[in-house]
Amino acid sequence: MRIAVLGAAGQLGRDLVPRLAGEVLPLTRADLDLARPETIAPALDRVRPAVLVNCAAFNFVDKAEAEPDAAFAVNAWGVRELARACRSAGTKLVHVSTDYVFGLDAARTTPLAEDDPPGPVSVYGLSKLAGEYVARAADPANLVVRTCGLYGVWGSGGKGGNFVETMLRVAGQGKPLRVVHDQRCTPTYTADLADAIAGLIRAGASGLVHVTSGGDCSWYEFAAEIFRQAGVAADLTPITSGEFGAAARRPGYSVLSNARLVAAGVPAPRPWPEALAAYLAERRNKPA
């Protein structure tokens, strides 16, 4: 089976490409740019995959508040054109989305299932939710995978690294760290997400499926565990979201249930502390 991966040079794409069976076609923005709809159909016509996995997104959460048109151009309208082109080409679309489609239910304390009503509290979250709708509306055979807080050894290039890298870099500089303690989610290792996506493709899954590491934590708790496992002494202080003062609101609780993933016959990813340990080991052994 021929599978194309859009965003193949990114943090998730770099882990996904080697885990897919069959002929894998890595695509970058130079091949197909969601912000330039005229590039989409010609690119699909050239490669003609059976499945296309979209790992590309406008993922600058705070920047999206000031630039909503840019966020929607990629995350919603670009995905709409991609889904239409896939339908015309007979290609199944696998689209990666986010826990940020939730957040309106501030009192939530139990993991969110795929059937729970979304309620984004940011422009980014709204643009990603719109992308989910257009991807699924184009073809019921398409698959949307929601995930959360990605980190992998290839980093998040446009953001200058992932959360783990940032924590270790700032702590290594001896600077104090103030990390939010009132947002609960499940940071997810891209290698484990890639394994799950590959499994869902093999299983022929469609619709909407949540995939994250197991368990949950606050960002402060995640940072504390990063430093504990890495053996780093850090000046770490918990703060509230209000004290942090980000331009975009984040969900107070966006822990996702993996039950539908397991029901599809794909093993749930390991608990987040185990995933973090595997990431840190891979990071140490990554070639320079």
Structure tokens at 159: 């953001």
Helix axes 123-138, 79-89, angle to 10 degrees: 10
Q: 100-125 b/e with 16+ CB inside 10 Å = b?
A: bbbbebeebeebbebeeebbbbbbbb
CATH of the domain at 51: 3.40.50.720
Structure tokens at 73: 């151009």
pLDDT value for 161 = 81
Q: Name the DSSP class of 89.
A: H
> Which residues of the chain fall below pLDDT 70?
157-160, 288
pLDDT value for 81 = 98
pLDDT value for 66 = 98
Pairwise CA distance, residues 83 & 16, whole Å: 20
Query: Can you give the pTM of this predicted structure?
Result: 0.96
- What's the number of CA atoms in the CB half-sphere (13 Å) around residue 171? 21
pLDDT value for 285 = 86
DSSP reduced 3-state for 129: helix
pLDDT value for 158 = 65
Pairwise CA distance, residues 253 & 160, whole Å: 26
Range of the domain at 104: 2-285
Q: Domain total for the chain? A: 1
Instruction: Please identify every residue annotated as catalytic.
Output: 124
Sign of CA dihedral 30, 153, 64, 87: positive
DSSP reduced 3-state for 35: coil
Q: Judge whether 106 and 161 are in contact, CB under 8 Å.
A: no
pLDDT tens digits, 147-195: 999 999 998 766 668 999 999 999 999 999 999 999 999 999 999 999 9
